[in-house]
Each structure stands twice: as C-alpha cells, then as structure tokens.
C-alpha cells in the first residue's frame, strides 16, 4: 500500500518514530512534515534522536492563527497528495496538521487513517478537540489507543474501521526506557543544563496549550509554579517558545525558584520526568508518559482526553486546573518533600515498560485494505 504520512509537531514525531520503521517495512511511505513546530528546539533535533527519516516533503508552514495556518497547509498538501496518488493518507493526533491532512485527503476522495482516534475531552473550546472530532468523522481507519476511545466513537455512531491498537507512544517509551533509568543520566543532564539535579530533588513542568497562554492564565500558573517550588526543590520548566513569547507579551515574570530550560529531546524529557518528585503539565503526551513512568502528575487543565490516568488518590494524575490550593494539596500528598528522593530512586530502579505493539497492529490493518462498510 502507498501511504502519505502527515506530521507537524513534536508529539507527532514521537508517534511517527514508533510507527515509521514498521510502516516502511510493509508499505511505501511518503513522509510529509508541515513544519507546524518549525524550529530546531521544538522539532528539528527529534529527527536525529529518534532515528526518523528526513521528510520527503518539508512544507515549512509554522506560525499564524489556526485558520491561516490550516489554510496554508491545505493549499500545500492538496497538490502534493494528488501527485503522490496514495492509497491512504495517515494523520496523527489532534493538531492543525492532522485536520489539514484529513481534509485534503477527504476532498480528493482518498481514505484517511487516523492514529489516536476517539479521544475526547468533551470541551469544544479546545482547538484540539475540534480537530480530532473532524478527523475521526472523515477517517476510514480509526486506530484507537484505548477502550475509552473506542467507546467514544461508538457513542458518535462510528463503528466501522475502529480498531483498539494501543498507544504508539508507549511502544517508543518502552523501547528507550532502559536508557533513562540510571540516575547517572540525570546527573549528565543536570551538568548540561547547569542545574544541580538529583532524584526527587526537583519538579518538572511543561505548559503550552492555547488556553494557558491567556494573560490571566499565565499569571495563575506562574504563581502556582512559584508556590510549588522551594529553594531546595525547584521547578524545572521546559518552556515552549510560544509560551515564552506569551509571558513576555503579558509582562508575567516567573519566580526565581523556577528554572527555565529550552524544550528538551525525547530521552531527556523522559529522564526528567522519571527522576522528578512530580510533574506539572498541560500536555496530553507528558501526562501519559508520567503515568507509564509512575510519576505523580498534576494536570493544569480542567478536563483531559486521557481519562484512564485520572481518578482517585491512587491514580497517577490529578486534574488541578490553575487552582493553587489544589496543587499544594496534591503535591503534599503525592510528592512530599521529605520522601521524594527515596520514592524517585525506587521508581527508577523498578522501571520496566512493555509496549502494546501498536505499530504492528496498524500496519496489519492497513495491509488488509479498507474495512468492510468503510465510508
């Protein structure tokens, strides 16, 4: 089968790194990078680190508002897909690149394969929610990562072509987890970043979603990170360039106990999560990784599409939104200052991840051709 695969962001590169070797073993793959994450810090260095092939087509379409960016992607993708004449266009996740790839393919009458189908936060204010809903309703193959995702699709009347394949990102995390278990890896990272990092001796944070770049939200989560940090247990914030620009524009200054670093590579990010006392994030990908690694995770959102990771006190993640009181309470319970070093050391020593084989299942389903009853 000939497939055009469309990516554009760091999380999509991670998923592609898990799928691409199997896809290229079994099929002809034309790899397209829209450039939605368009700088080296955000995406460029992922190609070398993850062993991804360089894109067959790099569109360089970054920046701009949602409509502008998606429109420029559509204009660029349509002739490319028409000329390639693939049997399917494969898209990942919930970004503008996903929406543009799915729309361009559907308009040309080419079947769409959607990896991470069926996820729902049930919050239509989120651009990602709109993207994933549209992609699902256009898709012929819907590769769901969880049973809850399958149930979401069924509730929307989508049953044909739905396959629970498991989570591609877990496949990749399992492949490299042995490389980040050793605390020596953390010491090396700390030396490179100029930070005295020790297991359980810091908190790790990422913030990038559109709703958390509004001025009031920026001030709220900056104060929350300041509350969470202490001189002996700082917050290490891997700061997205868009979030950095929003902080500057809003005149919001981060507390001195928040150590700002550039977005990190895949293995470094996993290591920083694994050895942290806890993670604070609004990223769905980081939320899942923290769950697999067994790290307490405070989700800086009111809702999440990854419902499996949240719940009672024994769950890995908890939704705190931008509530400073809730964050203080959950950190005190889930990551007490005194016990965190021992907990982190024990967690890393016992880490053993097994991937679900999602890549193989996706490739087999594509090899079988369009599912019966495909729209």
Residue 38 belongs to domain with CATH number: 3.40.50.2000
Of 27, 114, 208, 240, catalytic: 208
Domain contains 336? yes
Asked if 343 and 227 sit in the same domain, the reply is: yes
Number of domains making up the chain: 2
Q: Is residue 375 part of a domain?
A: no
Same domain, 129 and 190: no
| Residue 330 C-alpha from the chain's centroid | 23
Torsion sign across C-alpha atoms 260, 266, 272, 277: positive
The DSSP output letter for 42 is I
Shared-domain flag, residues 12 and 40? yes
Are 159 and 182 found together in one domain? Answer: no
372 domain residue, yes or no: no
- Residue 131 half-sphere exposure toward CB, CA atoms < 13 A: 20
Which letter, b or e, does each residue of 260-293 get, where b requires 16 or more Cβ atoms within 10 Å of its Cβ?
Answer: ebebbbbbbbbbbbbbbbbbbbbbbbbbbbbbbb
The answer to whether position 216 is within a domain reads yes
Considering the domain architecture, whether residues 163 and 182 belong to the same structural domain is answered as: no
* Secondary structure class of 336 (helix, strand, coil): coil
> Rounded CA gap, 327 and 282, in Å?
13
d(CA 213, CA 304): 18
Residues 334/278, Cβ–Cβ less than 8 Å: yes
Mark whether 363 and 328 lie in a shared domain: no
Based on the residue annotation, tell me whether 275 is a catalytic residue of this protein. no
Residue 142 and residue 190 in one domain: no
Same domain membership, residue 204 and residue 155: no
SS3 324: helix
Kindly state whether residues 206 and 104 are assigned to the same domain: no
| pLDDT tens for each residue of the chain, 375 residues long | 999 999 998 889 999 999 999 999 999 999 999 998 765 555 557 777 888 999 999 999 987 888 889 999 999 999 999 999 999 999 999 999 999 999 999 999 999 999 999 999 999 988 899 999 999 999 999 999 999 999 999 999 999 999 999 999 999 999 999 999 999 999 999 999 999 999 999 999 999 998 999 999 999 999 999 999 998 999 999 999 889 999 999 999 999 999 999 999 999 999 999 999 999 999 999 999 999 999 999 999 999 999 988 876 778 899 999 999 999 999 999 999 999 999 999 999 999 999 999 999 999 999 999 887 665
Two tokens, residue 265: 């590579």
**Per-residue DSSP letter, 307:** G
Contact 16, 5 (CB under 8 A): yes
Is 373 inside a domain boundary?
no
List of residues 6+ apart from 319 with CB closer than 8 A: 299, 301, 302, 303, 304, 310
Quick one: 134 and 204 in the same domain? no
CB of 295 closer than 8 Å to CB of 347: yes
Structural domain that includes position 75:
2-167+356-367
Same domain assignment for residues 291 and 211: yes
- Do 360 and 337 share a domain, yes or no? no
The model's pTM is 0.91
């Amino acid at each position: 089968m000939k497939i055009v695969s469309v990516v554009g962001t760091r999380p999509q590169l991670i998923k592609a790194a898990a799928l691409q070797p199997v896809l290229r073993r079994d099929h002809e793959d034309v790899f397209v990078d829209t450039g939605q994450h368009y700088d080296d810090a955000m995406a460029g260095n992922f190609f070398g680190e993850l062993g991804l092939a360089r894109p067959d087509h790099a569109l360089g379409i970054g920046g701009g508002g949602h409509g502008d960016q998606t429109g420029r992607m559509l204009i660029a993708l349509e002739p490319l897909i028409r000329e390639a004449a693939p049997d399917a266009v494969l898209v990942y996740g919930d970004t503008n690149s996903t929406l543009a790839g799915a729309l361009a393919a559907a308009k040309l009458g080419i079947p769409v394969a959607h990896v991470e189908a069926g996820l729902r936060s049930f919050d239509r204010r989120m651009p990602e929610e709109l993207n994933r809903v549209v992609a699902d309703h256009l898709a012929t193959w819907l590769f769901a990562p969880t049973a809850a995702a399958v149930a979401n699709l069924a509730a929307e009347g989508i049953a044909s072509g739905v396959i629970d394949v498991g989570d591609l990102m877990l496949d990749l995390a399992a492949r490299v987890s042995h490389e980040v278990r050793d605390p020596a890896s953390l010491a090396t990272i700390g030396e490179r970043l100029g930070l005295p990092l020790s297991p359980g001796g810091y908190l790790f944070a990422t913030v990038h979603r559109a709703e958390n770049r509004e001025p009031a939200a920026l001030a709220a989560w900056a104060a929350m990170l300041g509350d969470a940090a202490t001189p002996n247990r700082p917050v290490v914030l891997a700061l997205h360039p868009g979030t950095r620009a929003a902080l500057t524009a809003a005149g919001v200054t981060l507390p001195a106990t928040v150590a700002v670093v550039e977005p990190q590579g895949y293995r470094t990010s996993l290591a920083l999560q694994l050895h942290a006392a806890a993670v604070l994030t609004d990223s769905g990908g980081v939320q899942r990784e923290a769950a697999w690694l067994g790290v307490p995770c405070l989700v800086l959102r009111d809702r999440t599409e990854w419902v499996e990771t949240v719940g009672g006190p024994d769950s890995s993640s908890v939704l705190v939104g931008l509530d400073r009181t809730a964050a203080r309470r959950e950190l005190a319970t889930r990551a007490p200052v005194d016990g965190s070093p021992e907990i982190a050391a024990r967690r890393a020593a016992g880490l053993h991840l097994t991937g679900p084989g999602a890549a193989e299942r996706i490739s087999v389903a594509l090899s079988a051709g369009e599912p019966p009853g495909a729209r």
